[in-house]
A and B are shown apart, each in its own frame.
With several copies, the nearest count.
Chain A
Amino acid sequence: MLRYLVTIDGHEYDIEMEYRAEGFDVSLNGKKRKVIQYKLGESRSLLLVDGQSHEVDVRGGCLDSSKIIFMQGQEIPGQIEDYNLAQLRKTAGMTTAAAIDRTVRAPMPGLVVEVKVAKGDSVTKGQPLLVIEAMKMENIIKAQGDGTVKEIYVEVGKSVEKAGKMLEFE
């Protein structure tokens, strides 16, 4: 039997799981579930949870604690940890949250049509930083917080890839 702490959409689930010949015995926050799994491919499978049918697709690296579950046309991000490790971490007061990113990345691929700030500028939250044209629409990228521009990685007239670094704050 293995025990995990799973977080989905802000909800925590304490899951205990055991394999039986006729399916998996699952305890989900203490509620018993019978789960049958049929593989549909590399990452896709059909789950029957107490008979309820769900097609799911779990994507992400083998060792990642953050994964994405595709189901019912939706993409659901989730985190998983060994239950005991999670308890230890919680007791020690650590957090799994990533450090706050000082890097401004492109929310979409597109063409840089305007850079409204220069290196060294102080900007305030909500101030327009750049304008990107994508699919014939101009999109204004605004500052998510206050800060000073440390570096600009893009140029007007050049294209930028999705999640490409555009600008960095100090």
Chain B
Amino acid sequence: MKRSIRKILIANRGEIAVRVIRACRDMGLTSVAVYSEADCTAYHVRLADEAYLIGEALSSESYLVHDKIIDVAKKSGADAIHPGYGFLAENATFAQRCADEGIIFIGPSPKTIAMLGDKIQARRAAIEANLPVVPGAEIDAANVHKALETAADVRFPILIKATAGGGGKGMRMVEKAEEFEEAVKRASSEALSAFGDGRVFIEHFLQRPRHIEIQILCDHHGNCIHLGERECSIQRRHQKLIEESPSPFVTEKLRQEMGEAAIKIARSTGYVGAGTVEFMVDQEGHYYFLEVNTRLQVEHPVTEMVTGFDLVREQVRIAEGDVLGYDQSDIRFSGHAIECRICAEDPEQGFVPSSGVLKNYRIPSGPGVRVDSGVVIFSEVPVYYDPLIAKLIVWGKDRDEAILRTRRALDEYRVSGLKTTLGFHQAVMDNATFRQGKLSTSFLAEEYPDNRFIQLDDTVRETAAIALALDKFLRARKIAVSNNSSSRRGDSNWKQFHRRKNLRNFGGSR
């Protein structure tokens, strides 16, 4: 059963590839990167021990091509493949292919992935394991009349979701029956293009729910524990933007209940590896099973910060056949962690993606600050992939400290060349409702109905005005001096200023 892993191929890109490569280094393992033509100089390629080109920019020509990934794994002699999240992470066919080729797929078995990846089956499994679920049903996008009847049974407002999908893709909220047909068509088409599977299902849409999920770890020997919850309620269009652990809402009792529920479904489905059981929680504290993500989550670092676990290390150990070596009573939670997803998007323009070269890029650090970044200065952010460029994860002894420290780290962060969500996160950290921990998935819509996040205060406006005036003033003085360099009066003063300016110009331009 025990299989040793010495070399890992990372079938991914961006920050998660960097995250896994770092874990390899931290464990003394060799890392193999793959990259598309758009990622020739990407940071994950630079950081890995080995790197191989696997095709054109489109992920359907590179990161999603099973044959190419398997080829590189064999060529480089990798024992195992880590899929990260997205791409092939929840692809049962690929996991099976790895097994057939004798390569360890770092994740659950193909059977588990297939079963839990199908939301209908996962829902059934949850019901069998006695987990509460929200009312819902599968529909046939081609038969709209029938689908509409089902929708009426489930009760509007409803949520349309891709059966094969995750991460909010293909998801649509529909408030009224009139909007239903168009939304089903659009969701099904998005699902088809994103997952190659147009099937969708519907669920009753809970009012102002919280999104809270439980991290689990299960080994090959029947041991299964949970590492507490993450609250991921700050979302837009079902895309998580800010996550934290612990949830400001979850009591010790609720944590225990939800943790036990998560372990129950994991055990009933023979789950092995790291996984996440997602729940919706209403304002009364009733929780409903949502889905199981059979992979590492984007937001896994907040759990790492409060538990001291390295989840990638645990994934590798489990894949090797190791026994967990600890039980639920050994798990300790300490402090509070917050993650901000730094995306190449313009929040003020409805979060439209932004791409380009990072002309400046400086990450914050210091006590309690971690940045999982897929880019460095001068990196190009291509248009082809997810806009997530980095994650800022901050630990504080309590939620208040974590928020203030996150605010500080956001201020220290420097990015230019692209629009990012930095200013958005600054606004949320200053938001009184957020500070009070009154979260729900409607938070953004309620607090920022017009997508205006950035509120300039007087000091910022005044300083900007002075900066602009000074910029023009100095150019005018420069022109005045060159036009009038023989003039004696005022000249000495200018010269002195100029000398000082040079003295102080430690810039990069010289």
Contact = CB atoms under 8 A, between A and B. Distances in A.
Interface of A: 2, 4, 6, 8-9, 11, 13, 15, 17, 19, 21, 24, 26, 28, 33, 35-42, 44-49, 51-58, 62, 67, 69-76, 78, 80, 107-110, 133-139, 159, 162
A78 B468 contact: yes
Tell me which of A9, A35, A39 has the highest count of chain B C-beta atoms within 10 A of its own C-beta.
A39
Interface in B40-56: 40-41, 45-53
A37 B470 contact: yes
A135 B186 contact: no
Contacts of A138: 186, 189-190
A80 B508 CA distance: 27
A72 B233 CA distance: 26
Nearest to B32: A51
Closest 7 A/B residue pairs (Cβ)? A41-B507, A13-B465, A42-B509, A6-B465, A56-B467, A15-B469, A69-B464
Interface of B: 32-33, 40-41, 45-53, 75-76, 169, 186, 189-190, 193-194, 349, 352-355, 378, 383-387, 410-411, 413-416, 419, 422-423, 426, 454, 456, 459-473, 475-477, 493-494, 496-497, 501, 504-509
Contacts, number: 189
Contacts of A11: 461, 465
Contacts of A159: 383
A76 B352 CA distance: 18
14 contacts: A4-B472, A8-B461, A39-B41, A48-B51, A49-B462, A51-B76, A52-B49, A53-B47, A53-B48, A54-B467, A56-B463, A73-B410, A74-B456, A135-B384
B386 to A, nearest CB: 6
Given A26-B466, A39-B501, A73-B422, A108 B509 contact: no
A70 B416 contact: yes
Contact of B471 (A55, A67, A70): A67
A47 B387 CA distance: 27
Contacts of A73: 410-411, 413-415, 422-423, 426
Contacts of A56: 463-464, 467
A17 B509 contact: no
Describe B's contact surface by its main secondary structure.
helix
A4 to B, nearest CB: 5
Contacts of A21: 493, 496-497
A15 B466 contact: yes
Contacts of A40: 41, 46, 378, 506-507
Nearest to B453: A74
A45 B45 CA distance: 12
A2 B471 CA distance: 12
Given A11-B465, A13-B465, A38-B504, 4 more contacts: A19-B494, A51-B76, A57-B416, A73-B423
B387 A135 contact: yes
A33 B466 contact: yes
Tell me which of B33, B51, B349, B468 has the highest count of chain A C-beta atoms within 10 A of its own C-beta.
B468
A107 B385 CA distance: 17
A107 B169 contact: no
